[in-house]
Amino acid sequence: MEIMDLGLVPYRQAQDRQLERHARVLAGQAPDTLFLLEHPPVITLGKGGGLENLHASPDFLASRGIELVPVTRGGNITCHFPGQLVAYPVFRLDRRPGGVRSFFHDMEEVVIRALARVGVAAGRAQGRPGVWTASGKICSMGIAVKRWVTYHGLALNVARDTGLFDLITLCGLADARPASVHGELDARGSAPGDRGAAPHFPDMQEMKDVLAQEFRAVFEPHTRVA
């Protein structure tokens, strides 16, 4: 697995990077590749639609410098912004057992393990893709698969400021609220019975490192050579 840290990248530029790498992985010219990055503010609409869950006009978004982009991943509406860690795995599924369902489950497992390492308890919610805490949805997921190679991926909220979600109904779920790594650690540190050492708040680089390590731990043991 090759892991590339792209830094802060506009959404369409990152999508072009994915598609270029997708073609190379499909042709056998590059290994499975994981892109780690952040996006400037953008709202994306998946194959499941989402305009009905957008609470601001395109003109309002443009005036605030927020892009609105239809995309080819599954799922409904979501958003990206600095302080959110985005991971795009461009992986060959024909070299892994279990197909798309197993791949998606393993992506959730990566995030659950990474969050546990920084002190955040999270898990799955029946019938609701992604990763959840007691406070809300901390990681959204949506993938596309073309000729058995994946692209798109996951978005993990790290920083406290998740205000961009106020402009949408998160993933089209009326009762869903966003959670974040730093918000969860804040809540844990202020909860009765948890008053001890101050919690450690991982920065973006630490979260990238932890997530990359868990991607290797979960995915590489299952890869077989064709």
Annotated catalytic residues are 171
Contact between 3 and 153 under an 8 Å Cβ cutoff? The reply is no
